[in-house]
């Protein structure tokens, strides 16, 4: 046993936390053996199952609910409506942007419905299968109203704006882009699930429980979910135990509670029965939290030397019928980070969000950052073509210099650190850019359509606070509890390593608790790529407190609890992609991707690599194939995996990643975020690669996803025009 007090805390995070290589993830042994406990694996005794009767229409008056047929099905225990459960509303939204409309929305429909999939009634049954079958036997009397895919557009739900300087009136070039990002589905491996156990029914086991209810919910924000459940159940927060078990992917879609989550808990309280809800893939498609959904218009003013003179942009995000907690975040992020890594003094950026008769939209991996990068990087490459300057050269002339850090952008953001030009240089070197351009020229001569596209991106990684509790026990064991849960990132491995390094013990001596409101201090949660930078710093701080008190002679066990508050750390990077487009069929082939990412100081290179690749796969999905489509009646017509394409192993191109490590001065670890980078940089680079491939033919209005159909239409229209 290594005694912790043999190691003094060091002020130099970078030297203390040397990157470890080939650390096996602690999580994996159980997960690979099927011994994990995901939301859908939670087993509670005497449970009854629920399924939701959902609105089949996007907008209608709700005139009646006929439950008789469902109640006659064997095994159906109850059908509950808002008459039974009372009127409850969904939690309010994040105040990061002011919302100017009344967005109060009922948990269960009252007298009208506002999206297909909206929960209208709850069927309670002895099995999941019976509950689902009986839900289909409930009929609704609806008076159809016209749905809007953009309601209240005259009167925005929320707005944001940034203005600085004067837009130039006499620029040599003004390039324009209109970028529409379709809605996408987060598509975790595990659909949502919520289980609620009521305490007090079984006095032999639960007599001592300080909790009235335990709720198992795969969530990125256990503390907020606990408070949301408590509010709806009208209980003191501490009487709700919220457990986020293993989570099979979240990506923002599990960051805010949904009506189904809260209704599961409410049904349990109402019936004083244990209740489980397991979403199907269809439930998640139709009523889970969707991502993206924006139209971004931009104009970039450039002088004859390719220097950026001004950026004008109008951003429009279309949200769903109700606002999840983080719904306003993508608009806010897109607007504030739009200039990206470029030095620009004159900006005029306005953004607004409206609502539609459609499923809710929330943050989704990147949360506004991908949209911003897509618009800015499309404009940059158009400017390069218009100025007839190589896109690398044009970028070099405009990047914020490393010695200008920390740099305050015209939107008021403070970029903490980084060397953007070096990232571009390294990426070009790894890609063999000069050679690649020569090869491209040759291949074009031979009739091939091949493009090289790049994107630089910034990834602001969360701000605010996270918590940690560290206990040093008498036998040398250490307990770490964090407010940041995990959804596959491997936080248990990282946090154990971090505490072991700081305390000077072996990682195996460290037990880590996450995602449990009883075992963990109240926290912010795992989102916006912030857990290592902020949550990790809280752990280091708590470990240092333990050491200081130990050195002061305090007897064991010692418990230290700390909150760490940080300003944002800004990751960044450069992606270069090469794409071939088949001239006859439009089929795009991504030949290779080279990527340089700077996530600051890295604790676990393998985990970082995994997150980058995962983000790239998700970004590639959005770029090449994913798209949720609603028809005029507000029906989702891509509501299954037969209609909605996602990337598979065989769609992944070779990706060459290398890293830079510019430490952030804004936290104890020098760490920055990494989870969202792939979703931000990859789609923009692929868009630019496709546009570059087509550029000998002209400029085209390409949009994501870059399907072979879209590319074929562009090509056939072009060649039709050519034919006399
Ligand atoms: S989109 Mo992330 O979970 O902040």
549: in domain: yes
φ, ψ (nearest 5 deg) of residue 459: -130, 85
Q: Domain check: are 400 and 491 in the same one?
A: no
Q: Is 596 exposed, middle or buried (0-12, 13-18, 19+ CB in 10 A)?
A: buried
Query: Is residue 114 located within the same domain as residue 164?
Result: no
Which of 244, 290, 365, when mutated, tests ligand 1's pocket best, judged by the most ligand atoms within 8 Å of its CB?
A: 365
Q: What is the pLDDT of residues 357-411, one digit of tens each?
A: 999 999 999 999 999 999 999 999 999 999 999 999 999 999 999 999 999 999 9
Q: How far is the CA of 566 from the centre of ligand 1 (A)?
A: 17
pLDDT at 188 over 80: yes
Residues 302 and 436 in one domain: yes
For residue range 626-656, list pLDDT tens digits in order: 999 999 999 999 999 999 999 999 999 999 9
**Is the domain of 167 the same as that of 294?**
yes
Mean pLDDT score, 571-590: 98
At residue 155, the pLDDT reads: 80
CA distance 45 to 158: 45
What value does the mean pLDDT take over residues 683-699? 97
pLDDT tens string 465-489: 999 999 999 999 999 999 999 999 9
Please indicate, yes or no, if residue 305 is contained in any of the structural domains: yes
**Residue in this structure with the two tokens 């399907």, named with its chain if needed:** 707
Roughly what angle, to the nearest 10 degrees, separates helices 420-431 and 433-445?
A: 50
327 lines ligand 1 (CB under 6 A): no
Beta bridge partners of 559: 471
Q: Which atom of ligand 1 is nearest to the CA of 255?
A: 3
Same domain as 379, residue 336: yes
Final residue of a structural domain among 537, 566, 595: 566
Closest approach atom of ligand 1 to CA 291:
1
pLDDT category of residue 9 using cuts at 50, 70 and 90: very low
pLDDT value, residue 722:
76
Q: List, for residues 38-50, the tens digit of each pLDDT value.
A: 999 999 999 999 9
Does 295 fall in a domain?
yes
Question: CB of 249 closer than 6 A to ligand 1?
Answer: no
**Where does a domain end: 268, 287, 306?**
287
Residue 17's pLDDT band (boundaries 50, 70, 90)? very low
Task: Check residue 654 and report its DSSP letter.
Answer: P
Q: Is the CB of 595 under 6 A from ligand 1?
A: no
Q: Of 417-421, 690-694, 716-720, give the lowest mean pLDDT range.
A: 716-720
Same domain as 636, residue 558: no
The pLDDT value recorded for residue 13 is 38
d(CA 488, CA 476): 28
User: Is any ligand 1 atom within 6 A of the Cβ of residue 363?
Assistant: yes
The pLDDT of residue 153 is above 80 = no
Q: Read out DSSP for 545-599?
A: HHHHHHHTTPPSPEEEEEEEEEPPPEEEEEEEEEEEE-TTT--EEEEEEEEEEE-
Q: What integer pLDDT is reported at residue 18 of this predicted model?
A: 46
- Please tell me whether residues 136 and 163 are part of one structural domain: no
Distance 160 CA to ligand 1 centre (A): 20
Cα 364 to averaged position of ligand 1 atoms, centre (Å):
5
pLDDT at residue 269 greater than cutoff 60: yes
**Considering the domain boundaries, does residue 6 fall inside one?**
no
Output the pLDDT for position 721: 80
Whether 32 and 43 share a structural domain: no
Q: Is the CB of 220 under 6 A from ligand 1?
A: yes
Instruction: Give 589's Cβ-side CA count (13 Å radius).
Output: 9
Q: Is 186 in the pocket of ligand 1 (CB under 6 A)?
A: no
Retrieve residue 407's tokens: 């740099």
Q: Domain total for the chain?
A: 3
Average confidence score pLDDT of the chain = 94
- How far, in whole angstroms, is CA 112 from its chain's centroid? 31
Instruction: Pick the atom of ligand 1 nearest to 326's CA.
Output: 4
Q: Please check whether residues 163 and 195 belong to one and the same domain.
A: no
Q: Model confidence at 22, in pLDDT bands (50, 70, 90)?
A: low
Residue 2 placed within a domain: no
Instruction: Indicate the pLDDT class of residue 5, thresholds 50, 70 and 90.
Output: very low
Q: What is the pLDDT of residue 19?
A: 46
CATH code of the domain in which 692 resides? 3.30.365.10
Q: Which atom of ligand 1 is nearest to the CA of 364?
A: 1
Give distance in angstroms: CA of 367 to centre of ligand 1.
Answer: 6
Q: For the domain that residue 203 is a member of, what is the CATH number?
A: 3.90.1170.50
Pocket test for ligand 1, best of 367, 462, 486 (most atoms within 8 A of CB): 367
* Domain residue limits at 703: 158-186+288-461+569-722
Per-residue pLDDT at 210 exceeds 60 = yes
Q: Ligand 1 centroid to 526 CA: how many Å?
A: 8
Residue 204 confidence (pLDDT) above 60 = no
pLDDT at 154: 64
Of all residues in the chain, what percent carry a pLDDT higher than 90? 92
Whose CA is closest to atom 3 on ligand 1?
Answer: 252
* Cβ–ligand 1 contact at 421 (below 6 Å): no
Same domain, yes or no: 283 and 317: no
CB distance 325 to ligand 1 below 6 Å? no
Mean per-residue pLDDT, 229-242: 98
Least confident of 172-181, 199-208, 226-235: 199-208
Residue 5 in any domain: the answer is no
Q: Confirm or reject: Cβ of 135 under 6 Å from ligand 1.
A: no
Q: Is 367 in the pocket of ligand 1 (CB under 6 A)?
A: yes
81-121 per-position pLDDT tens digit = 999 999 999 999 999 999 999 999 999 999 999 999 999 99
Residue to mutate (ligand 1; options 221, 254, 255, 330; most atoms within 8 A of CB): 255
Q: Is residue 553 part of a domain?
A: yes
Q: What angle do CA 674, 677, 680 make, to 5 degrees?
A: 160
Residues 277 and 424 both lie in one domain? no
What is the per-residue pLDDT for 334? 98
Query: Last residue of some domain: 566, 600, 625?
Result: 566
Helices (H) and strands (E) in the chain — how many of each? 19, 27
11 pLDDT band (50/70/90 cuts)?
Answer: very low
Between the CA of 149 and the centroid of ligand 1 the distance, in Å, is: 25
pLDDT value for 208: 66
**What is the distance between the alpha carbons of residues 655 and 442, in angstroms, rounded to a whole number?**
24
For residue 4, being part of any structural domain is answered with no
Question: Does 252 contact ligand 1 (Cβ within 6 A)?
Answer: yes
- Closest ligand 1 atom to residue 220 Cα is 3
Q: What is the rounded average pLDDT of the residues 228-250?
A: 97
Is residue 4 predicted with pLDDT exceeding 60? no
The answer on 707 and 658 residing in a single domain is yes
Ligand 1 centre to CA of 70 (Å) is 39
**Does 6 score more than 50 pLDDT?**
no
pLDDT at 692: 98
């Amino acid at each position: 046993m290594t005694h912790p007090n043999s190691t003094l805390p060091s002020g130099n995070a970078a030297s203390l936390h040397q990157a470890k290589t080939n650390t096996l993830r602690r999580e994996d042994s159980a997960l690979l053996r099927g011994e994990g406990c995901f939301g859908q694996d939670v087993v509670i005794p005497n449970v009854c199952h629920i399924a939701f009767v959902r609105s089949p229409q996007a907008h209608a008056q709700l005139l009646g609910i006929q439950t008789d047929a469902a109640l006659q099905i064997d095994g159906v225990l109850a059908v509950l409506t808002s008459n039974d459960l009372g009127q409850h509303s969904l939690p309010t939204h994040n105040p990061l942007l002011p919302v100017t409309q009344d967005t109060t929305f009922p948990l269960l429909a009252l007298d009208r419905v506002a999206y297909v999939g909206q929960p209208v009634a709850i069927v309670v049954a002895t099995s999941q299968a019976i509950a689902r079958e009986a839900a289909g036997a409930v009929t609704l009397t609806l008076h159809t109203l016209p749905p809007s895919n953009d309601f209240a557009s005259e009167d925005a739900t929320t707005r944001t704006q940034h203005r600085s300087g004067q837009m130039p009136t006499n620029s040599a070039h003004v390039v324009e882009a209109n970028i529409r990002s379709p809605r996408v589905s987060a598509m975790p491996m595990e659909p949502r699930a919520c289980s609620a156990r009521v305490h007090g029914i079984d006095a032999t086991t639960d007599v001592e429980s300080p909790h009235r209810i335990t709720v198992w919910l795969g969530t990125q924000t256990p503390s907020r979910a606990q408070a949301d459940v408590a509010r709806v159940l009208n209980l003191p927060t501490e009487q709700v135990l919220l457990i986020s078990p293993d989570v099979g992917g979240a990506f923002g879609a599990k960051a805010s509670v949904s009506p189904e989550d809260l209704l599961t808990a409410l049904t349990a309280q109402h019936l004083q029965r244990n209740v489980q809800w397991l979403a199907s893939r269809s439930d998640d498609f139709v009523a889970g939290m969707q991502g993206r959904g924006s139209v971004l218009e931009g104009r970039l003013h450039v002088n004859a030397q390719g220097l950026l003179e001004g950026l004008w942009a109008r951003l429009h995000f279309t949200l769903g019928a109700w606002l999840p907690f983080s719904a306003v975040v993508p608009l806010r992020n897109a607007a504030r980070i739009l200039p990206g890594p470029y030095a620009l003094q004159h900006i005029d950026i306005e953004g607004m969000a409206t609502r539609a008769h459609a499923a809710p939209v929330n943050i989704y991996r990147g949360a506004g950052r991908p949209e911003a990068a897509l618009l800015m990087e499309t404009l940059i490459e158009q400017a390069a073509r218009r100025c007839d300057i190589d896109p690398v050269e044009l970028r070099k002339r405009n990047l914020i210099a490393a010695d200008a850090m920390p740099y305050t952008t015209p939107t008021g953001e403070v970029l903490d650190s980084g060397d953007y030009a070096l990232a571009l240089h390294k990426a070009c070197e790894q890609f063999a850019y000069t050679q690649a351009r020569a090869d491209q020229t040759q291949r074009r001569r031979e009739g091939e359509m091949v493009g090289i596209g790049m994107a630089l991106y910034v990834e602001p990684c969360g701000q605010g606070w996270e918590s940690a509790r560290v206990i040093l026990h008498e036998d040398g064991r250490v307990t770490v509890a964090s407010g940041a849960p995990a959804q596959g990132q491997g936080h248990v491995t990282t946090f154990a390593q971090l505490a072991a390094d700081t305390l000077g013990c072996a990682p195996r001596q460290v037990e880590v608790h996450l995602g449990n409101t009883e075992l963990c201090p109240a926290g912010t949660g795992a989102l916006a790529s912030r857990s290592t930078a902020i949550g990790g710093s809280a752990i280091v701080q708590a470990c240092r407190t333990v050491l200081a008190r130990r050195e002061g002679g305090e007897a064991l066990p010692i418990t230290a609890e700390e909150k760490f508050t940080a300003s944002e750390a800004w990751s960044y990077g450069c992606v270069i992609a090469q794409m071939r487009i088949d001239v006859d069929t439009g089929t795009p082939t991504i030949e290779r991707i080279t990527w340089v990412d700077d996530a600051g100081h890295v604790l676990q290179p393998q985990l970082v690599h995994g997150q980058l690749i995962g983000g790239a796969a998700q970004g590639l999905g959005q770029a090449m194939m994913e798209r949720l489509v609603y028809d005029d009646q507000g029906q989702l017509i891509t509501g299954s995996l037969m209609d909605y394409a996602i990337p598979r192993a065989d769609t992944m191109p070779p990706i060459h990643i290398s890293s830079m490590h510019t430490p952030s001065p804004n936290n104890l670890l020098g760490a920055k975020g990494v989870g969202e980078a792939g979703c931000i940089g990859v789609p923009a680079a692929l868009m630019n690669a496709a546009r570059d491939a087509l550029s000998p033919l002209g400029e085209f209005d390409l949009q994501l996803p870059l399907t072979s159909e879209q590319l074929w239409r562009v090509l056939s229209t072009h060649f039709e025009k050519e034919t006399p």
